[in-house]
């Protein structure tokens, strides 16, 4: 039903209108100030001893078929409707909003107000939802969808439903390396780095870095035939949305780089749901329970050197009025909205991004190579210390708004216990490996630590083999920390410690402001778990 181009257009149209409807304050006059000097581009030098070698595939392959879910079971004696009756209930001008799916008719008039995916459900008003669900494939396996379908079924279609998809939106996904990824879902693709790979190098390779997609990888993740990946990056265009009035200027990456230069910074990238499995064990069920993501361990995390254009220079040049107002009032009311070519969007407070010390960039390279198809090629937002969900991939547009973007991943998913959009990651330490020291009763323990959103350095990591009654200080491998243009310490440090051998070891980190991890962190709807990392030891 959709060609890939049609899907792209649909998706992008969908979210443009989402911004118009929800983003009351999406605005801004855009002008390049002639007075901002260009920086010189920084060379990326990687240490071959610590940089995991490249290599991700740029091949494409179809994802194994996922059967479409069945609809709600027919109810004996239920009414039947024609397609044109469904179509006439299009949800506008006070009319009900009906949809159909696999021979069933559903009244979504009330449901659309509570739909976790938000108002984009209205795109299917009066029509069949199948093609939309093939893109947002979570509908095919989420148990919640089945429950709602049961509640809102009102009858059956008279005509036979067309159940055959003519286009599979997942028919050209990146080839991935299952040796360095534990796969949770393939539609949309979602994986973590197995713990044995996680701490094996200071920099995580693109092939091993976790992937959390919400939709198919868009076509822009591949260069056109005959063009190199590097030169295609240069032509990639980003629209800086103006909003209510006037034009929305488009800049190529080449424009941005020549105007603002590039920098290389080191930062972890972490999914807000990392350690979701441990969170369930420590604090009880969460939204992850029952989903394939309840198996997340510690690997939705990686550490890399990212190269790109500093947002703290781009935004004041393109949105001078708003940035000046934001600076005057602490920046509180403005948000930067990033929209990806896959239809995903997210926003982060402008104040965070305008502070140059936070090293927020529009990244084109990871560890010196063009971003991989799964990690946002040709350009992504890279906001150190901020949850992965806001680091929008396959970036196609940026806007400023007075309110956070009205998208499912801001309004329904990725919220903390107070119902606020999750932004900053917490202080974290993780045990990646334990081994008995030969000829002794000692255990060598290895792991990682980072301070999350604060960007503080790690002052110490401690390891305990008696459930926290006593602690031994670990040795931090400071010598391998990269000397690049990072303003703070958003990357991880690796550490080693020796403790008496027991059945379980745990660790905790303390940052330079004296903040220390507690044994069990408060429930945040299953996100952001940062209690002590506890690991069983084979005796």
Residues in contact with ligand HEM by CB under 6 A are 99, 106, 108, 115-117, 120-121, 123-124, 129, 132, 136, 138-139, 142, 144-145, 148-149, 214, 408
Report in angstroms the alpha-carbon separations of 182 from 140, 211, 526.
21, 10, 20
Q: Which residue is nearest to ligand HEM (CB)?
A: 117
102 versus 515: smaller Cβ distance to ligand HEM: 102
Q: Least distance from C-beta 299 to ligand HEM, angstroms?
A: 20
276 versus 362: smaller Cβ distance to ligand HEM: 276
Q: Least distance from C-beta 222 to ligand HEM, angstroms?
A: 23
- CB atoms under 10 Å from CB of 286, counted, come to 21
Q: Exposure of 523 by Cβ count < 10 A (0-12 exposed, 13-18 middle, 19+ buried)?
A: middle
408 versus 531: smaller Cβ distance to ligand HEM: 408
Q: Does residue 500 contact residue 441 with C-beta atoms inside 8 Å? A: yes
Beta bridge partners of 472: 463
115 versus 229: smaller Cβ distance to ligand HEM: 115
DSSP string, 143-209: HHHHHHHHHHEEEEESSPP----S--TTTTEEP--TTS-EEEEETTEEEE--HHHHTSSSB--TTTS
Q: Least distance from C-beta 312 to ligand HEM, angstroms?
A: 29
Q: Least distance from C-beta 144 to ligand HEM, angstroms?
A: 4
CA nearest to 486, candidates 359, 360, 385: 359
Q: Does residue 500 contact residue 455 with C-beta atoms inside 8 Å? A: no
Q: Does residue 399 contact residue 23 with C-beta atoms inside 8 Å? A: yes
37 versus 74: smaller Cβ distance to ligand HEM: 74
Q: Least distance from C-beta 445 to ligand HEM, angstroms?
A: 36
139 versus 259: smaller Cβ distance to ligand HEM: 139
Any idea what DSSP says for residue 371? P
Report in angstroms the alpha-carbon separations of 516 from 48, 460, 466.
33, 9, 18
Q: Least distance from C-beta 408 to ligand HEM, angstroms?
A: 4
91 versus 453: smaller Cβ distance to ligand HEM: 91
End-to-end CA distance of the chain: 57
Q: Least distance from C-beta 22 to ligand HEM, angstroms?
A: 14
Q: Does residue 157 contact residue 103 with C-beta atoms inside 8 Å? A: yes
287 versus 320: smaller Cβ distance to ligand HEM: 287
Q: Least distance from C-beta 482 to ligand HEM, angstroms?
A: 33
DSSP string, 199-247: TSSSB--TTTS-EE-SSPPPGGGSPPTTS-HHHHHHH-EEEE---SSS-
Q: Least distance from C-beta 52 to ligand HEM, angstroms?
A: 29
132 versus 450: smaller Cβ distance to ligand HEM: 132
Q: Least distance from C-beta 141 to ligand HEM, angstroms?
A: 8
Interatomic CA distance for residues 385 and 383, integer angstroms = 6
132 versus 222: smaller Cβ distance to ligand HEM: 132
CA nearest to 528, candidates 431, 433, 446, 417: 417
DSSP string, 267-307: EEEE-TTTTHHHHHHHH---TTTTSGGGG--S-SEEEEEEE
């Amino acid at each position: 039903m959709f060609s890939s181009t049609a899907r792209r257009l649909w998706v992008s149209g969908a979210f443009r209108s989402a911004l118009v409807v929800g983003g009351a304050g999406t605005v801004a006059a855009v002008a390049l100030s002639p007075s901002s000097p260009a920086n010189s581009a920084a060379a990326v030098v990687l240490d071959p001893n610590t940089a995991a070698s490249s290599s991700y595939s740029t091949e494409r392959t179809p994802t194994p078929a996922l059967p479409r879910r069945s609809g709600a079971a027919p109810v004996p004696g239920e009414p039947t409707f024609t397609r044109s009756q469904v179509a006439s209930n299009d949800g506008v001008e006070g009319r009900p909003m009906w949809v159909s799916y696999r021979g069933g008719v559903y009244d979504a008039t009330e449901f659309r107000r509570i739909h976790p995916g938000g108002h984009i459900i209205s795109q299917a008003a009066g029509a069949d939802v199948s093609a939309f669900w093939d893109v947002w494939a979570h509908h095919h396996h989420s148990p919640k969808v089945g429950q709602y379908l049961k509640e809102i079924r009102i009858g059956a279609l008279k005509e036979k439903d067309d159940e055959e998809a003519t286009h599979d939106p997942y028919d050209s996904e990146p080839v991935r390396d299952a040796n360095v990824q534990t796969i949770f879902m393939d539609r949309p693709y979602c994986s973590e780095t197995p713990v044995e790979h996680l701490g094996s190098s200071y920099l995580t390779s693109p092939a091993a870095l976790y992937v959390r997609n919400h939709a198919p990888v868009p076509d822009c993740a591949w260069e056109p035939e005959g063009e190199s990946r590097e030169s295609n990056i240069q032509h990639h265009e980003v629209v800086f949305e103006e909003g209510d009035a006037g034009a929305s200027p488009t800049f190529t990456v080449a424009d941005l780089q020549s105007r603002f230069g590039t920098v290389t910074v080191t930062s972890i990238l972490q999914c807000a749901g990392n350690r979701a499995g441990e969170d369930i064990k420590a604090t009880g069920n969460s939204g992850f329970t029952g989903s394939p993501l309840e198996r997340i361990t510690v690997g939705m995390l990686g550490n890399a050197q990212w190269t790109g254009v500093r947002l703290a220079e781009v935004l004041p040049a393109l949105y001078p009025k708003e940035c000046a107002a934001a600076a005057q009032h602490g920046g509180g009311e403005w948000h930067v909205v990033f929209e990806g070519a896959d239809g995903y969007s997210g926003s982060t407070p402008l104040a965070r991004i305008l502070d140059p010390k936070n090293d927020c960039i529009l990244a084109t390279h990871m560890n010196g190579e063009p971003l991989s198809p799964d990690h946002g090629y040709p350009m992504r937002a890279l906001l150190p210390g901020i949850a992965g969900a806001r680091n929008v991939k396959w970036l196609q547009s940026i806007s400023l708004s007075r309110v956070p973007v009205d998208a499912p991943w801001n309004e329904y998913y990725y919220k903390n216990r107070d119902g606020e959009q999750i932004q900053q990651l917490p202080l974290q330490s993780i045990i990646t490996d334990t081994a008995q020291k030969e000829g002794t009763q000692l255990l060598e323990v290895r792991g990682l630590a980072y301070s999350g959103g604060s960007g503080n350095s790690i002052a110490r990591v401690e390891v305990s083999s008696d459930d926290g009654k006593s602690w031994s200080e670990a040795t931090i491998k400071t010598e391998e920390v990269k000397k690049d243009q990072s303003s703070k310490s958003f990357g991880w440090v690796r550490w080693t410690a020796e403790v008496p051998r027991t059945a379980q070891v745990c660790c905790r980190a303390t940052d330079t402001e004296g903040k220390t991890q507690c044994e069990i962190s408060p429930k945040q709807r299953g996100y952001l778990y940062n209690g002590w990392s506890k690991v069983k030891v084979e005796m």
